[in-house]
A and B are shown apart, each in its own frame.
Chain A
Amino acid sequence: MLNPAPAISLGNTLSLILAFALVAAPHTEHLPLWLSALAGAMCLWRAYLARMRLALPARWLLMLVVIASAAAIYLQYRTLFGRDAGVALLVLMISLKLMETRTQRDGMVLAFISYFLVLTNFFYTQSILTALYLLGCVWLITAAMIGLQHTHEPARYRAQWRLQLRTSAVMLAQSVPLMVVFFFLFPRVQGPLWGMPSDAFAGVTGLSDNMSPGTINKLVFSEEVALRAEFSGKVPPPNKLYWRGPVLLDFDGKTWTAPPRPFLNRIDLQRRADPAYYRVTIEPHNRRWLFALDIPGLLPPRTSITADHLLMSQTPVTSRMRYDISSYLDYGIGADSNELTLRRALQLPRGFNPQTLELGQQLRAQHADNDAIVTAALALLREQKFTYTVEPPLLGRHSVDEFLFNTRAGFCEHFSSAFVVLMRAAGVPARVVTGYLGGEYNALGNYLIVRQSDAHAWTEVWMEKRGWVRVDPTNAISPARADGGLAAALPESALLSRSVFSSRNPLLHRWAMTWDSLANSWNQTVLGYNLETQRALLYRAGFDGDTLRTLAAMLIGATILVTLLLALATLRQRRRSREPVLAAYQTFCEKMAKVGIARGDAEGPQDFATRIAVTRPELAHATDAITRLYVSLRYQEEEENNNKNKYLQQLQQHIKALPA
């Protein structure tokens, strides 16, 4: 506190640099290259200066670098306050703080900011591996902090390092029980507390509420998980696994969009079979919609359903979310759809795709009802040798015309788009539905993994009495898509991503499945722990009512209990660990007290011995021996160790021999 700040030693400087470099390393993936290079250069430069015992650079020079770099960060991100810009700024600040870390206190501040930098890593990933890696970083930072408290330059650096690392490990390990208590019992509040920067969820892949050629295509190579689903019964067959996403109603010739739709007061649904019950864990995508199999029956709490049967959450899904839901896989919907909706589902932009419009009118003329038109159109697609490819050729203004009559190669979005335009041209109300199709079953964890690469687009056409009927034109071209997923539908060479998940090597695949199952448990128990799961936990434990008060009481109680146990373990006084020499002499004094000669508080051993010799001459000999042994054991430090033990044994024997 009032201490003159002691200068920071070489060992501590190096350990702080190492800790910072390791914490910052994962950030290099998204930091601008120049900043990573700058931070790395600062680390090396600081280490060099410390090694050579050179003076640190002048402050004005550092200020210049700070201003220039902050300007560069601003130019790069166009802000200084977003998530990415904030992290960049933090890394910049720490690497420059490194250059003016002179005292022990500077070192401590550096360690604190490094802890904070650990936290920022979780913006980007919270996987098991990240957690383990960063735990290692925390271990190092803490060891560096402990090193800062040592007041003497160590004789041997390696021994000192080992000591620091061991102390750090012990302290962290002992903190785990209390951390678990805090984690489960600290009252969770529903974040966010303040507005998140707009880029908080930048880079989150997933479906959007519009579709133009290429939108879904770009998801195909993403192995990122969209959702996981655990079925309480049998997993439905692959061709029933249509995870319903945004329903696209409006078309402007190029892009399909999903207009805002009213919510349904009651689900308009004809149930034809028993529903499937399942639990979905959805990855955050920062949108309000949730995914359910066609068509959700019972809704989870705090969700509603739109007129297009899209399940919606009340707030954007910004964290991993879990809900229990049921779906009717055999259903009928929208038989009584109103005129307005149906008219909207027939709209086409003027001046686009004349050939398709003509084809549609032909179909309408040739066939009596909607049903026949759909069948004929599908037959058309099937006969005309369309190719299913993830690398479709580019299309011009009349995209549907070009696709249907020229290129004849496309992805699900081309098929669904073209089919709906054709239907509308033939006077059949139709719409595009986006979502995911299928998923991969993980037998180890008994759940289904749905990835971004499972993204799909299909269509629904409206028919008298039957309502909206799902038609998947992709299926007409490539039936394997629905049954075996994308990997099955495409030739192997088409899949550019060579990740283990799409690997056909059984061993690798098995390993991948085990890993995902582990990741799923991690997601469910650690990452998925939030306000709701906390409440559910309390409820299951039998606590009802005022959860906040219950939690506060439990938190305080458990904290006290754990701390007490820890304190007992740490501060336990072992009687046997008392110095044996002292203990022996104490026994001697007690024996003397029993025979009437109590040793005074400040009486030295020699004076005491003299007094004993005067009052009890028969004890003089033994007392003399004991006193001499005691004094030499206690006050002569240079004794050889084995001699010490010998003397101690003699001392104990003499005392034992005394009459009790």
Chain B
Amino acid sequence: MNTVAALKHRFFDWFIQPRAPETGVIVLVQRRVYILPTRLGLVFAAVMLMMLLGAINYLLSLGFVLTFLLVAMAFNGMLFTFRNLARLHVSGGRTQPVFAGHTAQFTLHLSNLAEQARYAVGLSRERRGGDDSAFTDIPAKSTAQISIGVPAVRRGKLRPGRLTLFTRYPLGLYNAWSVVQPDMQCLVYPRPAPPGVPLPAAEAAQGLGASHGLGQEDFAGLRPYHLGDPPRHIAWKAAARGQGLYTKQFTGQAASEIWLAWDQLPPRMDSEEKLSRLTRWVLDADAQHLNYGLRLPGKVVPMASGDAHRERCLEVLALHDLPDLDNEADGDA
């Protein structure tokens, strides 16, 4: 018995659902599109049966005509529903990274090469279309986008898994569906720790060319401008005199160049907590326009600032110590 169940499972796996993420454009070939009556379809069938019995009992010739016309239309509706989904071209779009605890949006591009428009095509993570369903219409020879939210529970790379494209148009009596597993992934940053933990103090002699005891309070002198220096520290008066760009240095400025380091954190924190804390710090440091670097066991992100730097840091945090199951090196994801 077990073998039969296993075989059945294998069969469904092979027949209905793609086993691995599919790269490139997925074409919903006819073999991949399935169709079954909906519950309303069964209600319709029951109504048709009642009408047929009525026509027989009351000897209504036009009752037969009406019933048979509607039954034939329901047959035809099956073809229409099937056509509304079959041969749709599906490809995955880009994803925006999210923090754990938020919802990752996966967008599919649906292109309709047919001469008829397709209406009310739904996307859901449940096989028959669930609460999460999103719908779109795709005009003839055109493309549309459809997005679905997937809760991002853990940091790392999130794949949407098996998604169901389905439709009940035009009569609602049938549900046609096709399961796709587009090769998409969304980067999930660690969940930031609650705000309020102060940034670590500057460290001695660790930074690049750091001067000891620099702070923000007392002016200490000028140094040549480096890319990334905060604009409010530029010596604008000197610049106006045509002496070139200089950055003002203050004693007590050490806080503007800080290291966010794994080993600064108490050892009793578990690693996910540490990552959360570091994530919070990255966000805080970025918000204060500080120069910061990130030090994790086995990975160092050099001191810098700006959006790209923040994202780089967050990515490192997201992927820290995760087995890289996906061997694809895609730099731009």
Seen from chain A, the residues whose Cβ lies within 8 Å of a Cβ on chain B are 1-4, 104-105, 108-109, 112-113, 115-116, 118-119, 122-123, 126, 130-131, 134, 138, 142, 145-146, 148-152, 167, 171-172, 174-179, 182-183, 186, 188-189, 191-194, 196, 200, 318-319, 526-530, 563, 566-567, 570-571, 573-574, 577-579, 601-602, 637
Q: Do the beta carbons of A571 and B79 come within 8 Å of each other?
A: yes
Q: Which of B94-127 contact A (CB under 8 A)?
A: 111, 113-115, 119-120, 122, 126
Known: A123-B58, A571-B79, A602-B23. A182 touches B72 (CB 8 A): yes
Chain A contacts for B131, CB-based, 8 A: 2-4
Q: Do the beta carbons of B62 and A571 come within 8 Å of each other?
A: no
Chain A contacts for B71, CB-based, 8 A: 178-179, 182
Known: A570-B79, A577-B113. A152 touches B40 (CB 8 A): no
Interface of A is mostly: helix
Whether B77 sits at the interface, judged by CB under 8 Å, is yes
Whether B63 sits at the interface, judged by CB under 8 Å, is yes
Q: Which of under 10, 10 to 19, 20 to 34, or 35 or more describes the interface residues of B? A: 35 or more
Whether B43 sits at the interface, judged by CB under 8 Å, is yes
Binding stretch for chain A, among B163-171, B243-251, B257-265, B308-316: B163-171
Known: A526-B62, A563-B75, A567-B79. A193 touches B69 (CB 8 A): no
Binding stretch for chain A, among B49-57, B283-291, B292-300: B49-57
Q: Do the beta carbons of A150 and B119 come within 8 Å of each other?
A: yes
Known: A3-B133, A577-B115, A578-B113. A319 touches B171 (CB 8 A): no
Q: Do the beta carbons of A131 and B62 come within 8 Å of each other?
A: yes
Can you offer 10 A-B residue contacts whose CB atoms are under 8 A? Answer: A1-B38, A2-B128, A109-B40, A113-B47, A145-B172, A151-B137, A179-B69, A189-B56, A193-B53, A527-B62
Known: A1-B39, A602-B23. A196 touches B128 (CB 8 A): no
Chain B contacts for A118, CB-based, 8 A: 66
Chain A contacts for B133, CB-based, 8 A: 3
Q: Do the beta carbons of B59 and A319 come within 8 Å of each other?
A: yes
Binding stretch for chain A, among B9-17, B81-89, B154-162, B234-242: B81-89
Chain B contacts for A171, CB-based, 8 A: 73, 76-77, 80, 170-171
Chain B contacts for A167, CB-based, 8 A: 80, 170
Q: Do the beta carbons of B129 and A1 come within 8 Å of each other?
A: yes
- Of A109, A183, A319, the most chain B CB neighbours within 10 A belong to A183
With A108-B43, A191-B57, A601-B23 already in contact, 16 other A-B pairs whose C-beta atoms are closer than 8 Å:
A1-B39, A2-B131, A119-B67, A138-B70, A146-B171, A149-B169, A151-B119, A171-B80, A179-B65, A183-B65, A189-B56, A193-B53, A526-B62, A566-B79, A570-B79, A601-B24
Q: Do the beta carbons of B60 and A126 come within 8 Å of each other?
A: yes
Q: Do the beta carbons of A191 and B59 come within 8 Å of each other?
A: yes
Q: Do the beta carbons of A122 and B172 come within 8 Å of each other?
A: no
Q: Do the beta carbons of B170 and A175 come within 8 Å of each other?
A: no
Q: Contact partner of B69 among A138, A194, A319, A573, CB < 8 A?
A: A138
Q: Do the beta carbons of A175 and B73 come within 8 Å of each other?
A: yes
Q: Do the beta carbons of B40 and A528 come within 8 Å of each other?
A: no
Query: Which residue of chain B has its CB nearest to the CB of A108?
Result: B40
Cα distance A145–B175 in the bound complex, in angstroms: 15
Q: Contact partner of B51 among A116, A178, A570, A601, CB < 8 A?
A: A116
Chain B contacts for A131, CB-based, 8 A: 62, 65
Query: Which residue of chain B has its CB nearest to the CB of A104?
Result: B172
Whether B271 sits at the interface, judged by CB under 8 Å, is no
Known: A2-B128, A171-B170. A176 touches B72 (CB 8 A): yes
Cα distance A206–B65 in the bound complex, in angstroms: 28
Known: A119-B60, A148-B172. A105 touches B70 (CB 8 A): no
Q: Do the beta carbons of A571 and B82 come within 8 Å of each other?
A: yes
Chain A contacts for B126, CB-based, 8 A: 2
Chain B contacts for A563, CB-based, 8 A: 75
Cα distance A550–B70 in the bound complex, in angstroms: 24
Q: Do the beta carbons of B59 and A192 come within 8 Å of each other?
A: yes
Smallest distance from the beta carbon of B160 to chain A beta carbons, Å?
Answer: 18
